[in-house]
Amino acid sequence: MSLFFLQMRNELHKLFARKRTYLGFAAFVAVEILLLLLLNLPKPKAGFRKLIEQNGYGFDQYFSGATLGLLMLMWTTFLLGALYLALVAGDVVAKEVEDGTLRMILCRPISRLRVGFLKYAACVLYTFALTFFIGITALVAGLLYCGWGGLFAIAPLEQLLAMHEAWPGLWRYLGALPLLGFGLVSITSLGFLFSCCEMKPAAATILTLSIFFFDSIFRSIPYFESLRGWFMTTHMTLWLRVFEYHIPWWRIAEDVTWLGALNVTFALVGLAILQQRDFKA
Give the per-residue contact string, 239-258, with other proteins (x = CB under 8 A; - = no).
Answer: --------------------
| H/E run at residue 151 | strand 151-155
Do you know the residue count of the chain? 281
Burial bucket for residue 191 (CB in 10 Å: 0-12, 13-18, 19+): buried
Residue 104 lies near other proteins (rule: CB under 8 A): yes
Torsion, CA 121, CA 123, CA 125, CA 126, rounded to 10 = 160
Residue 19 lies near other proteins (rule: CB under 8 A): yes
Choice between 119 and 172, CB closer to other proteins: 119
Cα(102)–Cα(94) distance, integer angstroms = 9
Give the per-residue contact string, 58-97, with other proteins (x = CB under 8 A; - = no).
Answer: ----------------------------------------
Report which residue type is found at 75: W
Cα(166)–Cα(234) distance, integer angstroms = 28
Cα(6)–Cα(28) distance, integer angstroms = 30
- Binding to other proteins (CB under 8 A) within 106-135 occurs at 106-111, 115
Choice between 49 and 95, CB closer to other proteins: 95
Residue 12 lies near other proteins (rule: CB under 8 A): no
Identify the residue among 13, 45, 200, 251 touching other proteins (CB under 8 A). 13
Q: Which stretches of the chain bind other proteins, using CB under 8 A? A: 1, 3, 6-7, 10, 13-14, 17-19, 99-101, 103-111, 115, 276, 278-281
